[in-house]
Amino acid sequence: MTRLTLDDVYEHISGVCFKTGPPGQVGAETEWFVADRQVPERRVTIGRLRTVMETAGPPPAGSRITYEPGGQLELSSLPQRGVVTAQAALAADIAHVGQHLARDGLALEGRGADPRNLRDPFFQLDEGRYRCMREYFGEAGLAMMCATASLQVCLDIGADDKDATRRWRLAHALGPVLVAAFANSPWNGSRSVRQVIWEGLDRGRTAPVVGDDPVAAWAKYALDARVMLLRQGWVPNPGMTFREWLADGRPDADDLAYHLTTLFPPVRPQGWLELRMIDALPEPYWPVPIAVVTALIEDPVAADIAAEAAEPVADRWCEAARDALTDPALARAARRCFEAALDALPRLGAEALVPLVTDYADRFVARGRCPADERPLDEDAGTRVPAGKEE
């Protein structure tokens, strides 16, 4: 077994996490809560979901189906060439899943948090990784694993190192705008309690990555993060950073690759850029963030506008989660970004998505609102967010 060196870490991050090449592929991961339509208060077990999905067979466009500890169903699409193809493929797979769930009296629910699991988490996956995560994060991690759902947009790293750096910086700058524009988990006065929960976890593995040089920034972040678990024996929190583990000469390349999967910043490089800060959305709006993010990062004109618009609010993560587009600065940035995205979509061959994005912009963004504003922010007043999760 070959032991890892510091140079090996940088080589892996440069050659794997930030592998460059011709851009244009788009993917997404959509997480859904599942409700029993006949008995809404009944918990839907993962066993029941697996039975239905096994009967349904694989989704037609090849999305991978997985399950989160609270019973969330996740569809991870294959990368597709262009946003229209990506949206159409994922739509077909969501429809396939939804139709078969409906036959068993179940329905997909698109929202960023499940109030019932915030009040009383229903932890269903007791396998090694999740058991260790639960012990590592404590009560806060239980809320994150069982009660939150996101929509993650995945885009190529970039054509070359310069392009990768541009995309990296822009993706981070856009983070608060995206949190605010798509906030859909109202709880105790916050419009995105999903974001509040993630911000309250171990900041060494969930905070935004700081640094304009992507490789150096991600390497430092990974090295300084605590090791969450040791897979041999599933030992949680062994009490060292990866840098300290590396100094002992024990980890190998597989240990590094696994460690990187236990880091959850809002923008994560995995050979592609994974934007993780967006609340899950229902039909018909889940394609909107995929279209907007793709347009703002892929189209050069829109990217320049978005970078300028987002720069003044690039550090307003807390305000985005709490206030969303009632924050005037975030509202201005969101309006400019949506206008730029709508202008860019036809240039990307995505005219078909313009009506849906326009509908969302008119209903929410132009009015300084987000989906969370259509439900009372105090609907769960008197129920506390788990410790460490309040603003």
Whichever domain contains 289, its CATH number is 3.30.590.20
Tell me whether residue 383 is in a domain.
no
Judge whether residue 384 has pLDDT over 90.
no
What does pTM read for this prediction?
0.94
Least confident of 26-40, 150-164, 374-388: 374-388
Tell me whether residue 236 is in a domain.
yes
Residue 62: partners with Cβ closer than 8 Å, 6 or more residues away: 77, 78, 89, 93
Least confident of 248-252, 292-296, 324-328: 248-252
pLDDT in tens, 42-95: 999 999 999 999 999 999 999 999 999 999 999 999 999 999 999 999 999 999
| Confidence band of 378 (pLDDT split at 50, 70, 90) | low
Dist. CA 281–CA 267, nearest whole Å? 19
Judge whether residue 382 has pLDDT over 60.
no
Dist. CA 88–CA 370, nearest whole Å? 24
Dist. CA 362–CA 368, nearest whole Å? 10
CA distances to 56, 72, 104, 106, 154 from 97, rounded to whole Å, are 8, 13, 11, 10, 21
pLDDT in tens, 141-187: 999 999 999 999 999 999 999 999 999 999 999 999 999 999 999 99
Residue with tokens 């090694």: 128
Judge whether residue 389 has pLDDT over 50.
no
Report the DSSP pairing between strands 229-230 and 272-279: unpaired
- Arithmetic mean of pLDDT, 251-277: 97
- Arithmetic mean of pLDDT, 202-209: 97
Reading the block at residue 181, the tokens are: 């524009």
Residue 39: partners with Cβ closer than 8 Å, 6 or more residues away: none
Tell me whether residue 378 is in a domain.
no
How many domains are contained in the chain? Answer: 1
Tell me whether residue 384 is in a domain.
no
Q: Which domain holds residue 19?
A: 6-371
| Confidence band of 126 (pLDDT split at 50, 70, 90) | confident
Own/partner contacts of 129-135, CB < 8 Å, gap of 24 or more, are: 129/229, 129/234, 130/69, 131/234, 131/236, 132/228, 132/229, 132/234, 132/235, 132/236, 132/237, 133/228, 133/229, 133/236, 133/262, 134/69, 135/236, 135/237
Dist. CA 40–CA 213, nearest whole Å? 48
Tell me whether residue 300 is in a domain.
yes
Tell me whether residue 293 is in a domain.
yes
Judge whether residue 290 has pLDDT over 60.
yes
Average pLDDT, the chain: 94
Tell me whether residue 380 is in a domain.
no
pLDDT for 383 equals 37
The strand pairing partners of 229, in sequence order, are 236
pLDDT in tens, 81-119: 999 999 999 999 999 999 999 999 999 999 999 999 999
Reading the block at residue 101, the tokens are: 């769930």
Q: Which has more confidence, 28 or 1?
A: 28
Judge whether residue 390 has pLDDT over 50.
no
Q: Which of left, alpha, beta for 189 (phi over 0: left; psi -120 to 50: alpha)? A: left
pLDDT for 250 equals 87
Reading the block at residue 233, the tokens are: 């024996």
* C-alpha count within 13 angstroms, C-beta hemisphere, residue 344: 23
| Confidence band of 375 (pLDDT split at 50, 70, 90) | confident
Tell me whether residue 121 is in a domain.
yes
| Confidence band of 310 (pLDDT split at 50, 70, 90) | very high
